[in-house]
Amino acid sequence: MTAPSLLAVPYATLINAKIVVSSIKKPYLAVDEHFFRFCMRSIIDKIKIDEKWYLSRYPDVAEAMGEEGPLSAAEHFIKHGYYENRMPYEIIVEEAWYLDQYPDVLIAVRNGDFASAQAHFEGVGYAEGRFPYPNFSLLTAATASETAATDYRKFYGLPSHEQDTGVQQPLFDREAEVSAS
């Protein structure tokens, strides 16, 4: 699916039509939801969607299909799922990094509230906007492969962070970064 062509209109037209409203908190704008969704469509259209996984993960979508609902998992994700914070495909969390980045999750896992960082991410972390690993962004259909979904380091050409001992090393040294700035 591709988004319809965007008509270019003067900025003043958007302001006058109240599609874009200036905020007293500069530099922010309030944007009409339909206009925002229209603008995001061309970006969301490119996100990789694993239809089989999506329907398995979200049985409510599978049930709604055909009942005047979406025709496919991709259609649902593009129109609704993205805005409902549904994952478009299985995203594997780098456990050590995630727990290091989010100490509250580490506490929750230790307290037994979640079985793992992966369970937290799937349950609430994704919807909270937490990253499952460094430099996360959703894969696009053009660049995605099954390997990329589970092995992001190889996909992005990043070095392995495990030494010969098999002990996972941090992606970067925070103290070194702070002292360098």
Quick one: which of 113, 64, 110 has its CA closest to 86? Answer: 64
Instruction: Check residue 171 and give its pLDDT.
Output: 38
> What residue spans define the domains of the chain?
1-39, 95-180
pLDDT along the chain (181 residues), means of 10: 62 86 85 91 93 95 79 91 96 97 98 98 96 93 51 49 41 45 44
Alpha-carbon gap, residue 49 to 70, rounded angstroms: 14
Instruction: Check residue 143 and give its pLDDT.
Output: 58
181 is written with which tokens? 């700035």
**64 with 79: CB under 8 angstroms?**
no
Please return the burial class of 10, using the count of CB atoms within 10 Å of its CB with bins 0-12, 13-18 and 19+. Answer: exposed
Alpha-carbon gap, residue 107 to 114, rounded angstroms: 9
Instruction: Check residue 165 and give its pLDDT.
Output: 40
- Whole-structure pTM over 0.85, yes or no? no
